[in-house]
A and B are shown apart, each in its own frame.
Chain A
Amino acid sequence: EAGVTQFPSHSVIEKGQTVTLRCDPISGHDNLYWYRRVMGKEIKFLLHFVKESKQDESGMPNNRFLAERTGGTYSTLKVQPAELEDSGVYFCASSQEYGRYEQYFGPGTRLTVT
């Protein structure tokens, strides 16, 4: 069974540009999560999808971030326009059910904004 995959693994963009990160969850997992780790800090929750619906987006930092999950399969996270403080590692995770169930993490996308 394939794990959670993320693309690209690394992205370097200039301040003001747009970047789109992609996450493919484990097949059959309805729950998909986005997290972010900025340098020196802990991983923080961004949002949670159940199928194509946003269940909880309380962690999204501002309206420059837009997450979508059309068709309830893969998800994209777009940052537009990117700022220096957006640099970090963006993780995606998926789980079969919500709650006390294991979340499986992808390898992350390292975003560097210069």
Chain B
Amino acid sequence: KNQVEQSPQSLIILEGKNCTLQCNYTVSPFSNLRWYKQDTGRGPVSLTIMTFSENTKSNGRYTATLDADTKQSSLHITASQLSDSASYICVVSGGNSGAGSYQLTFGKGTKLSVIP
């Protein structure tokens, strides 16, 4: 069964600190892995997309890593800001053949709260 597991479920950090969110997946065959940021009441917004051959990708203060052998990914947030408070969702594309070969499988997300 295609699954994406994220940890921790929630996290509270002080403004200015760094944090790392984890993602494990069992989606196969694998196409790509995405991290999304979802603010309350809004749709998910893409942060990074990584394919099998990419093991790190940055977007400003966000750095995602991918280990396709162990099927693990992480999202590192540097120098957190209050505006980073959101849910961060790990999403894996693949897991099917034919028309649904790039179908997205979502994790439940990690709810990050950055406090002053």
A107 contacts B89, C-beta separation under 8 Å: no
A108 contacts B106, C-beta separation under 8 Å: no
Residue B57 lies at the interface, judged by CB distance under 8 Å to chain A: no
Q: How far is the CA of A105 from the CA of B107 in the complex (A)?
A: 16
Residue of B4, B36, B102 with highest tally of chain A CB at under 10 A: B102
Binary B-proximity of A70-114 (CB < 8 A = 1, otherwise 0)? 000000000000000000000101000011101111111000000
In the complex, chain B residues whose CB is within 8 Å of the CB of A41: 108
The count of chain B contact residues (Cβ–Cβ below 8 Å) is 25
| Interface class of chain A by DSSP | loop
Residue B115 lies at the interface, judged by CB distance under 8 Å to chain A: no
Q: Which listed residue, A4, A42, A99, touches B43 by the CB 8 Å rule? A: A4
- Give 21 pairs: A residue, B residue, CB < 8 Å, sorted on A: A35-B104, A35-B106, A42-B4, A42-B89, A42-B108, A42-B109, A48-B103, A56-B103, A58-B103, A91-B43, A91-B44, A93-B43, A98-B102, A100-B102, A102-B46, A102-B49, A104-B46, A105-B36, A105-B43, A107-B43, A108-B42
